Structure 1
Amino acid sequence: MQSPPLPTTALRVIEARDADEHAGNLTNWEQCYDQTTPGTFHGLLEEMQLPDMQVFRESTSQGMRQTCCVWPDALWFGLPYSAQATRINGRTATPDSVLVRPGHCEFELVTPADYTIFGVVVRQDALRDAAQRMGFELDWERLSRAEVVQASPAARRQCLHTLHALLAGDAVSATDPQHLALDALLPLLDTGVVDSAVRDSLARRQRIVAKARDYLLAHHDQTITVPDLCQRLFVSRRTLQYCFEDVLGMTPVQYLRILRLNGARRDLLRKPDSAVRDVAADWSFWHFSQFASDYRKLFGHSPSEARQHGPH
């Protein structure tokens, strides 16, 4: 994925009724969303493209496990607006946190229902120029490895206020919007303490969860149980439980069910000629009535209605 050219100021607002449709609406990102809480999905994206930046506000009605990757030669900064906790690569962010990830580097977010986050993606050379212009000194090596910045609450509130005004169009006519966004962002990085340390124990749990996910996806047409995973990953049931609860905030059984249901949902949309029962069986749902019930509970509609609710 090459660093894309960004147009001059352009604001767009787009809604979605499907998690994957919503994931694909964010310009120049590679994303995959799994819905984790029950109910119909509604996503709202408000996005502004600037010459060297992307500013957006994303709202999702249901809990999500997100795999994300932004364009190269850039840095992404996420400012959760919801009081509920956000997990980034298994770490729980505090209410005053600023999330940070470099471009061309896949990361994971786990977010709750009724969630809103503001995001800023900026080319690294533009951020350097702005820092030099404003007299800020940034630790670039640590920043590029960070996942969380603990910022000044006052600076964070001011940044959120500025981003909100930009997306509402309140500040665009009288001021250069890119300078305005950079001027609000840089104080967070200058006064914050970059926390790039990931405990060895957490890193190990992240690896175990990632291996479990890869194995489940590779064998989605087979009935995989928790003991099967334990045997495959050479861990005890208690260890596996701790890993999933620490990294994803859910049990292995809950995650296995959610993963399979989201996989079936995608195939129902991508394979319109396939029978619903065949899709269910391909994701190891052998009792169709139970599959239909679980599907409706998670997504708010039946499997047979999925194609009506999906992307058009």
Structure 2
Amino acid sequence: MQPQATPLLHSIAIPSVELLNESLKPWGLDFIQLEKGIFHTHLTQLQLPQAVLQKISFDKQVWQRGVAPAECLNIGIMTQHTGPICWNNAPIQLDTLEVFSSSDGFDVISPAGFEAYTFSVHKSVVESYIEKSKLLIDCDLLLNSHQIHLCTPQYIDGLTRIFSHMLSETFSCQSPLAQTQTVLDLTNDLLLQLETKTIFKQRTSKTPRDKVIKRALDYILENIHSPINLSEICAITHTSLRTLDRCFKEKFQASPKTIIIALRLHAFRKMLISHPEQKIYQTASLCGFWHMGKLSEDYFSMFGELPSQTRRAAEHAPRKRLTVS
């Protein structure tokens, strides 16, 4: 993340996870909608010198995967949810502070109604404060490990108020010096919190079921443009159909068949958006769909619009994206 000379504040509604993935560079995201219906998300993003603050919300269940910005301390807090959430195999809640690794990916299923803040600050700022305050923190270890810290509700409430203020018009009208000081004070406060002996969990080791899920998903994604039989996945993962079903329902609250359909439809949708010049039947055949009537029916059920509507919107959409520089 390079320093952003001029503070920038964006607040936009995004109608699909595909456009959301494009909008959040350099977060390397691959979010996938799992719940049927028209998807809505709202993103507010503040870019400051050596820091980026974001607030994001989803109205549908989403499989969040990706990698946080490199060379940054990346933290997150959840402010709203409607069900239990496991982040890299560990439960998170409204009074936990998450530290995202800059070198390793994250994996979480977020329910509908999910809302959270993320704050990224450049390594140089973090190193400066660790040295200045003589904190007992290994900067490289902090930036490259997944951690979950249990905080007091009062601390999370205070952090939420600071984030909310920073995303307001009042803050954007402040002088650059005042804005920079807020970032420095916030970074110092976060480091002091992370140094304290709060209860925290680092990324937990994978269970046998996690390994089954990984092998299954790897196979599905490698063959995403072809019809996939559940017996093939059982053979690859060396499990029974019953065990496979249990593993998927534990992670996704959905059957393997449902997830396969969702992933294949997303691959088709992504190609529709990236190649709107192609005929729909050509894109469908490239993605392994041969029955156009069934495809249109499943697609409408999943996304609340027809493939032709997605393609038309992609043709006329300006190719803009939010960038974190």
Provide the TM-score with structure 2 as the length reference. Answer: 0.84
- Give, in angstroms, the shift of residue 142 of structure 1: 6.5
Q: Which residue of structure 2 aligns with residue 126 of structure 1? A: 125
Q: Mark the CA change 1:239 to 1:7 in structure 2 (over 3 Å): closer, same or farther.
A: farther
CA deviations 1:226-269 (Å, max 9, x no partner) are 22101112122233223323333332122111101111101111
Q: Which amino acid aligns with 2:184?
A: H
The farther-off stretch of 169-178 and 21-30 is 169-178
Q: Does residue 185 in structure 1 map to residue 190 in structure 2?
A: yes
CA shift in 2, pair 1:127/1:258, >3 Å: same
Give 5+ residue unaligned stretches, structure 2.
319-325
Q: Is contact 2:225-2:264 (8 Å) kept?
A: no
Alignment of 1:156-171 (within 5 A): 156-171=156-171
Q: Residue type of the partner of 2:256?
A: P
Matched with 1:148 is: 148
Q: How far has the Cα of 1:139 moved from its partner?
A: 6.0
Q: Is the 8 A contact 1:13 1:47 kept in 2?
A: yes
Q: After superposition, give the CA deviation of every residue in 1:106-157 in whole Å (9 maximum; x if it has no partner).
A: 2223212232210011223322433455675446546742342222221111
User: Among the aligned pairs, what percent are the same residue?
Assistant: 21
Residues of 2 paired with 1:119 and 1:295: CA distance? Answer: 32
Alignment of 1:64-75 (within 5 A): 64-75=62-73
User: Are 1:43 and 2:41 counterparts?
Assistant: yes
Gaps of 5+ in 1: none
Alignment partners' CA distance in 2, 1:236 and 1:288: 32
Maintained 8 Å contact 1:87/1:248: no
Q: Matches of 1:169 and 1:181 in 2, distance apart? A: 19
For residue 232 of structure 2, the aligned residue among 217, 228, 232 is: 228
Contact preservation (8 Å) 2:40, 2:59? yes
Q: Distance in 2 between matches of 1:163 and 1:180?
A: 12
1:18-167 equivalences under 5 Å are: 18-84=16-82, 85-131=84-130, 133=132, 137-138=136-137, 141=141, 144-167=144-167
Which one-letter code corresponds to 1:149 in the other structure? H
With over 3 angstroms needed to count, the CA separation of the structure-2 counterparts of 1:303 and 1:240, relative to structure 1, is same
Q: What do residues 148-177 of structure 1 show as CA deviations (whole Å, max 9, x unaligned)?
A: 222222111111110011111434627423
Letter paired with 1:217: L
Paired with 1:121 and 1:288, the residues of 2 have a C-alpha distance of 44
Select the residue among 302, 307, 316 that pairs with 1:303: 307
Cα contact 1:221–1:283 (8 A) shared by 2: yes
- 2:81/2:111 contact within 8 Å kept: no
Whether contact under 8 Å (1:34, 1:259) holds in the other structure is yes
Contact 1:4 1:28 in 2 (8 A): no
What SS does structure 2 have at the residue aligned with 1:145? coil
Q: Following TM superposition, by how much is the alpha carbon of 1:187 offset from its aligned partner in structure 2, in angstroms? A: 5.0
Query: What's the Cα RMSD here?
Result: 2.5
- Counterparts of 1:247 and 1:152, CA distance in 2: 28
Compared with structure 1, are the counterparts of its residues 200 and 220 closer, same or farther at alpha carbon in structure 2 (3 Å cutoff)? closer
**157-166 vs 232-241, which deviates more?**
232-241
Q: Specify whether residues 188 and 110 from structure 1 end up closer, same or farther in structure 2 by C-alpha distance, changes over 3 A only.
A: farther
| In 2, Cα distance between equivalents of 1:139 and 1:154 | 27
User: Deviation per CA, 1:262-290, whole angstroms, max 9, x where unpaired?
Assistant: 11101111222333233334334343222
The amino acid across from 1:245 in the alignment is K
**2:120 aligned counterpart, secondary structure:** strand
Q: 2:201 aligns with which of 195, 198, 203?
A: 195
Deviations 1:161-217 (A, max 9, x none): 10011111434627423124325533542443220151442xx43333232222212
TM-score, normalised via structure 1 length: 0.87
* Paired positions, count: 308
Q: How far apart are the structure 2 equivalents of 1:242 and 1:91?
A: 19
Q: Which runs of 4+ in 1 moved over 6 A?
A: none
Q: Matched residues in 1 for 2:25 and 2:281: separation?
A: 35
What is the rounded CA distance, in whole Å, between the counterparts of 1:274 and 1:137 in structure 2? 57
Q: Quick check: 2:52–2:120 contact (8 Å CA) kept in 1? A: yes
Measure, in 1, the Cα distance between the counterparts of 2:160 and 2:130: 19
Q: Bigger shift: 229-238 or 120-129?
A: 120-129
Distance 2:287 2:249 in 1: 23
